[in-house]
Amino acid sequence: MAVKTVERMKSGIEGFDDLCGGGFIRNRSYLVSGTSGAGKTIFALQFLYRGAVDYEDPGIFIATEERPEHIRENVANFGWDIEKLEEENMLAIVDASSAKIGLPSEEKFVDVRPFDTRSLIDNIITIQEEISARRAVLDSTTAIGFQIMNPSKIRVELLKIATTLEVLGLTSILTCEVVDEGHISRFGVENFVTEGTILLHYKRTENVRVRSLEIFKMRGTNHSTKLHPFDITNEGIVVHSQEEVYSMI
């Protein structure tokens, strides 16, 4: 019997796929963790943007933290025309942030308050029927966690979301905001519902802050266990896969 090989999906993050056997395993979900400003949202959006532009993969972005209009503006710096992708049905943004703070939303896809997994999942299924996405992002699990608070319930709800994404044929990134370098997740459970965990470090050493990336866990993959420096350039994140950062933590 032939050994079954897994199908990989290019991340769209320059240098990253070299660290993990050619990319993400398809139809699985990955956690991207880091402190505020570490680059999680940019990493996740680049996965969707490059996925759509370079690999013709439609994507879904679930925004629980930032308002979609800010997301579009923030990445215009990188020359990423999000609105164009939305018009072409290559990207759908779910506004799960405006309702939360009681603001009306002019977005096409809006998730209601208070947070309800069923309603989010229904929303994702509806979008999926419309655009047949192959990539998805939930940015972030932390905002959802704060609406639930109970870690074992957070774990169950995130597992439902991650499993739904997998069943729908989506390869996905879930982001997680940690309070301190060295932490893997905020509520201690987010990393249990995903197949892999990527840590983005943004650590001060003497008078400079250095960005680095670490693959903490990736099931089914022979991955680097080192800290690799990365830059946020005018074109997005570039990981220096041949270089290492020492004594970060």
Q: Identify which range of 37-45, 153-161, 186-194, 218-226 contacts ligand ADP by CB under 6 A.
A: 37-45
Does the footprint of ligand ADP cover residue 209 (CB under 6 A)? no
* Residue with Cβ nearer ligand ADP (19 or 42): 42
Closest separation between CB of residue 74 and ligand ADP, Å? Answer: 7
* Residue with Cβ nearer Mg ion (136 or 168): 136
Among 20, 38, 96, 138, binds ligand ADP (CB under 6 A): 38
Among 41, 123, 141, 164, binds ligand ADP (CB under 6 A): 41
CA dihedral 229, 65, 141, 74 (to 10 degrees): -30
Does the footprint of Mg ion cover residue 97 (CB under 5 A)? no
3-class DSSP string for 141-167: HHHHHHHHCCHHHHHHHHHHHHHHHHH
Residues 6+ apart with CB under 8 A from 125: 164, 168
Among 15, 23, 39, 59, binds ligand ADP (CB under 6 A): 39
Among 17, 23, 29, 40, binds ligand ADP (CB under 6 A): 40
Q: Which residues pair with 138 in a beta bridge?
A: 62, 174
Residues 6+ apart with CB under 8 A from 188: 151
Among 19, 25, 42, 161, binds ligand ADP (CB under 6 A): 42
Interhelix angle for 40-55 vs 68-76, to 10°?
Answer: 70
Does the footprint of Mg ion cover residue 142 (CB under 5 A)? no
Nearest alpha carbon to residue 29 among 166, 167, 152: 166
Tell me how far apart the alpha carbons of residues 43 and 213 are, in angstroms, rounded to a whole number. Answer: 11
Does the footprint of ligand ADP cover residue 215 (CB under 6 A)? no
Among ligand ADP, Mg ion, none, partner that 37 touches (CB below 5 to 8 angstroms by kind): ligand ADP
x/- mask, ligand ADP, residues 63-82, rule CB under 6 A, reads: --------------x-----
Closest separation between CB of residue 96 and Mg ion, Å? Answer: 14
Nearest alpha carbon to residue 8 among 218, 161, 215: 218
Token pair of 70, please? 């800010």
Residue 182 near residue 17 (C-beta atoms within 8 A): no
Does the footprint of Mg ion cover residue 41 (CB under 5 A)? yes
Binding footprint of Mg ion on the chain (CB under 5 A): 40-41
Binding footprint of ligand ADP on the chain (CB under 6 A): 34, 36-42, 77, 232
